[in-house]
Structure 1
Amino acid sequence: EKKNEDNPKPAEVEPLKLDLDNCRDRIIRLTVNSSNLGDAILDKDGENLYYKAAFEGGYDLWRHNLLESRTEIISKNVGGGSMTFDKDYKNLYFLSGGNIKKFDTSGRSMKNVDFEATFNYKPYDERAYMFDHVYRQIKDKFYVANLHGVDWDGYRKNYERFLPYINNNYDFQEMLSEMLGELNASHTGARYSGSWASLQTANLGLFYDESYEGNGLKVKEVVNNGPCSVKNTDIKPGCIIQKIDGTDITTGMDYFPLLDGKIGKQIRLTVSKAKGGKTFDVVVKGISKGALTDLLYKRWVERNRKLVDSLSNGRLAYVHVRAMNSKSFRDVYSELLSERNRNREAVIVDERHNGGGWLHDDLCTLLSGKEYQNFVPQGKYIGRDPFNKWTKPSCVLICEDDYSNGHGFPMVYKTLGIGKLIGAPVAGTMTAVWWEKMIDPTMVYGIPQVGCRTLDGIYGENTQLNPDIVVYNTPEDYLSGNDRQLKKAIEEMLKEADKNK
C-alpha cells in the first residue's frame, strides 16, 4: 500500500475521438494573406500555430492564435528552413542556411547558436559515392526500363576508371555529363554551382557605337525602362559618356571595373551631347545582367508586336510564351484576352526559345475555345462565350531551341489539330525530369523520369516535331533582324482570318 501511495496509478485517458463527419465543410484559412509558406509548427497546447511566410522579401515568423483567430508577425527575416520547439516548448530553433538560431517565444528575442562541427572530409570517396548514386538512380528511375538499349553497366566501368584522377567538381561534373550523355536522352547531364564573384558588374542599359574611336562611350541606343530611360536623364543616341564616377574613359579603356559592385547603387555619369560638347552629370542606379536580359526580352517582344500590327494593319494579335510556368501563362492570358487583342481576327502564338516547364494543357485549353453564344443587349453585340478562351484562328511559331515542354506544347497543339505550326523542326525532348541535388549540394544531375507518349504509343522523347510550314531564320537574319518565320506566320494567319469571316 505504501508503494502504491508513492507511485499512484495514472488516471486512464479516454482515446481521442475525432469528429470526421463533414470535415471538408470545416476547412478554414489560417494565413492572413497569400504568400510563399515555409515550415509550420503548433505549440504544446495546440493553441498557437507558428509558421514562416514570405511576401515582403524574406521569410518572417508569424503566430496565429487558433482560439482567438488572431494573426501577427513576431519576427522579421528569420530565413527559410525548418524549425522545432525545445522539450519545454519555450524556444523555437531554426535551421537555415547552415546556421542555427534560437527564438524565445515569450521575450521574442532571436539569438544565434554557435556550434562547431568537424569531420574528416574524404573528397575522393564522396565523389565515388555520388558516382555510384547516379548510376543506381538512373537504372531505377529512367523513363524506359531498357535505358534506350545502352549497356549501362559497361558505361559505368568505362567512366569509373577516371575517378581516381579527378580532384575537383568542375571535372567531375563534366565526366558525369559525358556518361549521362550516353543515354541519348534529354534532361540528363550534371551541373556544378561553385562560388561566384563577390562583386557583380552593373549595367547601365545602353548600347554603344562600336565604330566610335574617340574618348568615352558613344551611345547608340538607350534600352527602354533601363537606368538611363526611366527618368529624364537627357541621355540620347549620339551622347558620349565621358566619365563614370569621376574617372575619365579613354580610348580602348576597359571601363567595366568602374561598374563592379554597383548593382542597385547610384552611379554618376558625366555626359556630353557630342564630341567636345558641354558636359552634364546624371546619377542613375546600375542594374544586373538578369535585369538587362528581361528588358531586352521585352524589347524583342515589342518589336515583334509592332511588326505584326504593321503588316496586318492591326488585324492580328501577337503573344509570346517565354516559359512554361505560371507567370508566363498569366502574361499570355492577360495579353491575349486584353482589350487590345480580344477582338482581333487571329493570333500568332510565338513560343520560340522556350526552355520548358509544364503548361501544354493550359495553353491548348486557352486556344481551343469554341464560340457558342453572344451577349446582345438591345441589338448591340458586346461579347461572347466562352469569355475566358480564344475562339478564333491561331498558329504557333516554333524553332530549333525549343526544349522540354517547349516541345510538348506544340506537340499537343498539333495532336489536337488546333492550328498550324510554323518555323523550324524541334528536337524530341518532351519528358518530365527530376533534377536531383546530391550529397554535395553544389552538384545536380538530371533523370528524365516520366515519358510522354501519344495515344498511338509514340514517345515524345527523341521524336522530332516537324512544323506544318517549314521556315528557317538564317544567322544573317538574326544579325539583321529579318524574321522570316514571323513574316510567314503573318501571311498565313491573314489567310485564315479571311476564311473565318
Structure 2
Amino acid sequence: MKADSTFYYVVNGYFANKASTLQSANIYGQSIKEEANFGKDTWGFLEIDDTFYYLSNDVLRYQPIGGSGKDIPISFDYEWDVATLNTRVFEEVWGAFGNSFYDPDMHGQDWQALYDRYLPYAQKARNIGDIADIVNEMIGDVNASHTGFYPRRDSRVAYRSTTYLGIEFEPIELDIKGRMVSFVYPDTRLAQLYRLRPGDILTHIDGIELSHNTSLDSLLADKTGRRIQLRFERDQEPFDAEMKGLSYMELRRLDYAYRIEKRREIVEVQTNGEVGYIHIPGMGYTDYENFTRDLYRDNMDKKALIIDVRGNTGGYVHDSIISLLQKKQYAFSTSRRWRPGPMREPSRVWDRPSIVLVDQHSFSDGEIFPIVYKELKLGKVVGYPSSGAVIGTTEYKLIDGSTMRLPRSGWYRMDGTNMEGNGAVPDIIVENTPNDIIEDYDPQLQRAIDEIMADLENR
C-alpha cells in the first residue's frame, strides 16, 4: 500500500490460462487500474521496493510498477561426473516417489526391495537415457497411472519440424504425376478460397515438380507458418494456390473441429433438432468455459443433451460440470419490459434429460465425470469401459533438470472403491471396432441417440 492509500495486488491468471496482471485500487476498492501485464505462465511473485520479481516459463524476471519487464540473466559454469550424477538422480527419484505416492503400501510393492533391485543397474548406466529406462521400469512395477520420468538433454539435437497442408492423399498411382487429393479439411484456405476438392492433383510444391519418389515431408520440412506455393491440376487444367504451412497442433485442431461438427450434424439430423451434442476434450478451465458457452448459446432450446467425454484427457473441473447438471429450477421471474413470459431462476440450469458417452480413451478426470454422473443417477452412460487411470498428480523437477510425475492423491468412490484401476463402466457397453472407424460409423453415438430419443418418447 502506498502513502496515498493506493493498494497494489496481483491477479494471478496462471490456473485460468490467462495473463497475470498487477492491479491498483483505492481503499474503497474503486478506481481499479491495470498497472502491469506479466503475461501467461507467470508465478512466484515477490515485491521489493516497488519492483516485482517473478518466474515466467522458468525464467527469472523483474518489473517495476509502471515499467516493463526484463529478464535477469543467470549463468554459471560447473562440472560433474556423469555416473555419479545419474546415480544421484536415481536415488532422488526413488526418495521423492516413495515419500509422495498416494498409497503408503505402494500398491503392494516392497519399495526398498525395488531400490535394491534396480540400483546396480543405475550405477552401471552409461547415460541419462539408460537411467530413464531403469527408473521407468522401477516405477512401472508399482503399476500406477500418471507416472513417468522425462530425462534431461545431455546434447542438443537439431530436429526438423514437419509441416502440413490440411490435405489427405490417395495412395500413389504410377500413372499419375503428383498426388491425388482424397480429402480437404473444410476450414482451410485451400478449401474455402481455392475450392480444392477430392480428385484434384497436387503437382508442384514451391516450384518443385512431384514424382512418384518425391518425399512430401522433405519438401515441407521447416515451413510451418511460412507461405507455400502449390500447383494443382483439375481435369488436366493447372491452377495455383498459396497457403501458410500448418503445424501439427493446427492440424489436430482442424481434425478435431471437423470430427465434432460431423457428430453434431448427425445428432441434429437424426433427432430433428430436439437433442444437442457437446464434446468435452479435456477437464481444464478453458474446457469448462467452452462447455458452458456451448450449453447456453447453442443448446438451451433442446429437449435433451448428449455429453461426449470420449478421448477426454483429464483435468480438474468435473465438479463444476456436475453442478450445472444437478441444479434445479426453484422459481421464475417476469418482466413487462425486458421479455415476455416467465424467466427461469436460476437461468443457467440444465434439468432436462442427458446422456454421457465414454470410452477406453477417456482419462483421469475424464473418467471421474462419468463415474460421478452415473452414481448420482443423472442419466445413462453409454460406450466402452475406461482404463481407471485416476490419480491426482504433480510435476517434480530433479537435481539435473530431469522431471517426473508424482501421483500424490488417490480418488475413491463413497463405498471405498479406488478409482485407480477401476474406471467408468457404462450402463450400456458398445464397442467401436476398427471396421467401424474405417467405414466412418459411430455405433456408440448411434446408441446414445437411440437411448435419449426413447427417453423423450417415454416422458
Normalised by the size of structure 2, how large is the TM-score?
0.85
Aligned to 1:308: 267
Look up the SS of the partner of 2:451 in the other structure.
Answer: helix
Structure 1: how far apart are the matches of 2:248 and 2:270? 33
86, 94, 99: which one pairs with 1:140?
A: 99
The answer to whether structure 1 residue 206 and structure 2 residue 164 are counterparts is no
The answer for the alignment partner of 2:310 in structure 1 is 352
Residue type at the aligned position of 2:228: I
What residue is the counterpart of 1:127 in the other structure?
86
Q: Helix, strand or coil: the match of 2:458?
A: helix
- CA–CA distance in structure 2, aligned partners of residues 226 and 359 of structure 1: 32
Larger Rg: 1
Q: 1:414 aligns to what?
A: 374
Structure 1 CA distance for aligned equivalents of residues 70 and 318 of structure 2: 46
Q: Which residue of 2 aligns with 1:439?
A: 399
Per-residue deviation at 1:119? 1.2
Tell me how far 1:371 sits from its aligned partner.
Answer: 3.0
1:219 to 157, 161, 181: 181
Change beyond 3 A, Cα 1:303–1:29:
farther
Give, as a single letter, the amino acid of the residue that structure 2 aligns with 1:182: D
In the alignment, is residue 364 of structure 1 matched against residue 364 of structure 2?
A: no
Matched, 1:251 2:212: yes
Cα displacement (A) at 1:235: 2.2
Identify if the C-alpha distance between structure 1 residues 377 and 360 changes in structure 2 by more than 3 Å, giving closer, same or farther: same
Change (3 A) 1:255 1:153: same
Relative to structure 1, the CA distance from residue 312 to residue 142 in structure 2 (aligned partners, 3 Å threshold; closer, same or farther) is: same
- CA, structure 1 residues 372+73, in 2 after alignment: closer, same or farther (shift >3 Å)? closer
Letter in structure 1 aligned against 2:345: D
Please say if residues 143 and 448 of structure 1, whose CA atoms lie closer than 8 Å, have aligned partners that are also in contact: yes
AA in 1 matched with 2:203: Q
RMSD between aligned alpha carbons? 3.7
Give the structure 2 partner of residue 324 of structure 1.
Answer: 283
Contact 2:53–2:60 (CA under 8 A) maintained in structure 1: yes
Report if the CA contact (8 A) 1:178-1:189 is conserved.
no
Q: What is the CA-CA distance between 1:130 and the residue it aligns to?
A: 1.6
Whole-Å separation in 2 of the counterparts to 1:336 and 1:106: 41
User: Alignment partner for residue 493 of structure 1, among 448, 452, 459?
Assistant: 452
What secondary structure sits across from 2:241 in the alignment? strand
- Distance in 2 of aligned mates of 1:423 and 1:345: 22
- In the TM superposition, 1:373-392 aligns within 5 A as 373-374=331-332, 381=341, 383-392=343-352
Q: Encode CA deviations 1:462-482: one digit per residue, 9 max, x unaligned.
A: 224321111111111122111
Contact 1:322 1:351 in 2 (8 A): yes
* Maintained 8 Å contact 2:9/2:23: no
Tell me: CA distance 1:70–1:302, structure 2 relative to 1, closer, same or farther (3 Å). Answer: closer
Cα distance change, pair 246–127 in 1 and its aligned pair in 2 (3 A): same
Q: Aligned equivalents of 1:434 and 1:81: distance in 2? A: 16
1:27 is displaced (CA, Å) by: 9.8
Give 1:309 shift. 1.2
Change (3 A) 1:371 1:66: closer
Give the % identical residues: 26
- Decide whether aligned partners of structure 1 residues 346 and 358 sit closer, same or farther in structure 2, where only a CA change above 3 A counts: same
Q: Does 1:232 align with 2:193?
A: yes
Distance 1:197 1:437, change over 3 A: same
Shift in Å at residue 166 of structure 1?
2.1
2:142 to 163, 183, 186: 183
Tell me how far 1:248 sits from its aligned partner.
Answer: 0.6
Match of 1:398 in 2: 358
The amino acid across from 1:427 in the alignment is: S
The reply on whether 1:151 has 2:110 as its aligned counterpart is yes
- Find the residue that maps to 1:485 and give its secondary structure: helix
Show structure 1 runs of 5+ residues with no match. 1-17, 19-25, 39-52
Q: Distance in 2 between matches of 1:456 and 1:352?
A: 26
The structural deviation recorded for 1:83 is 8.9
Q: Please tell me the residue identity of whatever aligns with 1:347.
A: L
Aligned in 2, Cα 1:306/1:428: closer, same or farther, shift over 3 Å? same
User: What is the match of residue 4 of structure 1?
Assistant: none
Aligned counterparts of 1:290 and 1:37: Cα–Cα separation in 2: 22
Rounded Cα–Cα distance in structure 2 between residues aligned with 1:361 and 1:99:
34
Q: Tell me the secondary structure at the aligned position of residue 331 of structure 1.
A: helix
Gaps of 5+ in 2: none
CA contact (8 A) 1:104 1:110 kept: no
Distance 2:151 2:67 in 1: 43
In the alignment, is the contact (CA less than 8 A) between 1:352 and 1:398 conserved in 2?
A: yes
Q: Which amino acid aligns with 2:375?
A: T
Conservation of the 8 A alpha-carbon contact between 2:139 and 2:147: yes
